[in-house]
Chain A
Amino acid sequence: MSDAAPALEIRNLNVYYGDFHAVRDVSLTFPRNKITAIIGPSGCGKSTVLRSINRMNDLIPNVRIEGQVLFEGKNIYDPDVDPVEVRRRIGMVFQKPNPFPKSIYENVAWGVRINGFRGSKAELDALVEEALRGAALWDEVKDKLHQSGLSLSGGQQQRLCIARAIAVRPEIILMDEPASALDPIATLRIEDLMRDLAREYTIIVVTHNMQQAARVSDYTAFFSTDETRTGHLVEFGPTEQIFTNPKDPRTEAYITGRFG
């Protein structure tokens, strides 16, 4: 499937919300240090799958998860696994930038602190700077670190959220439509940033924007629903192949805009 070593592997994942079977039998391997895009029509379970990867679904009542998510060979749903540690190692960036109503500095330092940081103030400063640089935001905020995160533009806020995510040194970053609330230029900046981040991190991104998936990702997974509205994986492959010559006619129909 790919030359790259896997960063994470989903095996026979099924997700239910109460009686509703939202995601059926998904098996997928995410290559390390690559960007994998998850695309598909609304309601096909993209966000559900993404949330299953770092146990964010645990926070939703009535949810039931079957199958395995193997991270470093270990199923993250094993009873001896600490979900908080899973979420540190597999970070998440959401659709709407959601900085805390605190300073830019605190937005980044917060995650580091709650993960038991014991270093000096100078060390924390260095970590914050490194994360802000990593998120391509440092030059824009270095003179106003103590202003509110909410004072930044939408694109800057999203990069602040990315800085917050990478400050705790995760291995995988999940992104759920990270640019859908941004203007085209801010969107391209986020995409550039994602390419930079992929050198160090494995990125899994859900996007409604097919051109974005085509521009930014190395691999693409296409999900769809069937008559019962149950989401499932239709096709996974190198992005180049999915967008120039998909194997499955359902993928072809979707990416050429002739879906439904």
Chain B
Amino acid sequence: MIRKTLEARVQHLKEELLVLGSMVEQAMQQAMDALKRRDLDASRRVYANDQAINAKRFDIEREAIVAIATQQPMAHDLRFLASVLDVASELERMGDYAKGIAKINLLLGDQPLLKPLIDLPRMVDLATSMLRRALQAFVQGDVQAALAIPKEDDQVDALYNQIYRELITFMMQDPRTIDQANYLLWAAHNVERMADRVTNICERTLFTVTGEMRELDGPDDETLAPVGGEPAA
């Protein structure tokens, strides 16, 4: 095999992406766990750790740009490196969603939860599992998996709808819950967006392997809850 230098850089970038992916996954899990347990210290740690995610994303970007500049990649190599830039920024945004959930916990202060959180952690389990497999598919160039994973998004959307309905009910029954219900809805929206971004990673896998640029929407989502917009927090 010739092009050892390029191959080595590509290999290293794949490893770094997987590292960034697991940092994001952990951040999301810990953010949700902290919210569930109302552990403010844990949320502060997640919030602060987002710096590390941002830094890793820039490292990856820098490395990919150096590879493009010094190795003159073409065809598959070029599509891979261009996609790395994209995937790294998708991961960084997912990190922001975790940070947003950490912030929501801090904003709730010492309020007790309206009810124990069950569906929200489930949403996070689904979304992080999708993320882990989507990244694996990206580094392995597994188109089959990349096409299959976005279809799981409807399970995430279903939970999101359920949470939405439930929180609306709380708000209608007792307007004093509006504040917290709104925050929790926000948290759910962050997780929903994270799963959407997993689909973007799958689209990059398809592009890297085949050159095809196509949106991989999950099955038509019949979401009742607001979708698509960027959550803040």
Binding site for B on A (CB under 8 A): 210-211, 214, 243-246, 251-252, 255-258, 260
Q: Chain A residues near B72 (CB, 8 Å)? A: 210-211
Q: Are B79 and A245 in contact (CB under 8 A)?
A: yes
Cβ of B2 and Cβ of A257 under 8 Å apart? yes
Knowing A244-B211, A245-B211, the reply to whether A252 touches B76 (Cβ < 8 A) is: yes
Known: A244-B79, A245-B79, A245-B211. A214 touches B3 (CB 8 A): no
**Interface size class for chain B?**
10 to 19
Min CB–CB distance B211 → chain A (angstroms):
3
Given A210-B74, A245-B79, A257 and B211 touching (CB < 8 A)? no
Residues of B contacting A257 in the complex (Cβ-Cβ under 8 angstroms): 2-3, 6, 74
**Residues from chain A with Cβ under 8 Å of B1 in the complex:** 258
CA–CA, A246 and B83, complex, Å: 17
| Cross-interface CB contact of A245 among B2, B3, B73, B75, cutoff 8 Å | B75
Residues from 78 to 117 in B contacting A, C-beta threshold 8 Å: 78-79
Q: Which 5 A-B residue pairs are closest in the complex by CB-CB distance?
A: A245-B211, A255-B74, A257-B3, A252-B75, A243-B74
State whether A256 and B79 are in contact (beta carbons under 8 Å apart), knowing that A211-B72, A244-B211, A245-B211 are contacts in the complex. no
| Interface: B154 (CB within 8 A) | no
| Interfacial residues of chain B within 1-49, with CB under 8 A of chain A in the complex | 1-3, 6
A-side contacts of B73, CB under 8 Å: 256
State whether the Cβ of B77 lies closer than 8 Å to any Cβ in chain A. yes
From residue B206, how far is it (CB to closest CB) to chain A in Å?
A: 12
Distance in Å from the Cβ of B72 to the closest Cβ of chain A?
A: 6
In the complex, what distance in Å separates the CA atom of A210 from the CA atom of B3? Answer: 15
A32, B41: Cα distance in complex, Å:
70
Chain B residue at minimum C-beta to C-beta distance from A251: B75
